[in-house]
Amino acid sequence: MKKLVNYGFVVSFIWVGFILSISFMEAWVKFRAESLDLPTALDVGQHVFGALNMVERLFSAFLLLVLFYKYTDRIIVTSGVVVFTFIVAQSGYLLPELNEHAQLIIQGMQPEKSSVHMMYGVMEILKLVALIVLGLRQVKLFKEN
Quick: pLDDT tens for 72-102.
Answer: 889 999 999 999 999 999 999 999 999 999 9
- Given phi > 0 = left and psi -120 to 50 = alpha, else beta, which region is 21? alpha
| Neighbour tally for 111: CB within 10 Å | 12
Task: Provide the whole-model pTM.
Answer: 0.91
The set of residues, in sequence order, having a beta carbon less than 8 Å from that of 137 and lying 6+ positions away, is: 73, 75, 76, 79
Closest CA to 30 of 55, 48, 11, 53: 48
Q: What's the Cα-to-Cα distance from 82 to each of 52, 88, 114, 124, 131, rounded to whole Å?
A: 18, 10, 24, 11, 9
| Structure confidence by residue, pLDDT tens digits, 50-69 | 999 999 999 999 998 888 88
Q: Which of 4-8, 92-96, 110-114, 123-127 has the lowest mean pLDDT?
A: 4-8
